[in-house]
Amino acid sequence: MKLSRDLQLKLNKQYESNSLISMKYKGSDITFKTDADGNPVLLFIGRKTKDGKIKGERFRRTLKKDLLGTIVKDHWELKGKAS
């Protein structure tokens, strides 16, 4: 599965730093962790179970910045199943 353009635009926003954020997106449950700058870096997408875990897929984000802090690489990679 590849991330849709709409979801990538939602994940390009800044959120609270070093936090775990859960929300709904087009009928799926998503949960993501943010880094110290508030950028989402770990994403779980699928259906939430009774105990609050997401059963679906897991994505990891690669963010590389230059010396000035400008992002030069921004890539989401599918890492496998999430349970």
Q: What is the pLDDT of residues 49-78, one digit of tens each?
A: 999 889 999 999 998 989 988 888 988 999
Q: pTM for this structure?
A: 0.86
pLDDT band at 83 (very low <50, low <70, confident <90, very high): confident
pLDDT at 60: 95
Q: Count of alpha carbons within 13 Å of 18, Cβ hemisphere only?
A: 1
- The pLDDT of 13-36, averaged and rounded, is 92
What number is the average pLDDT over the span 9-25?
A: 92
Sequence-distant (6+) residues with CB within 8 A of 35 are 17, 18, 41, 63
Domain boundaries, the chain: 5-82
Can you give the pLDDT at residue 2? 79
Strands annotated E in 1-83: 20-25, 28-34, 40-48, 54-65, 71-82
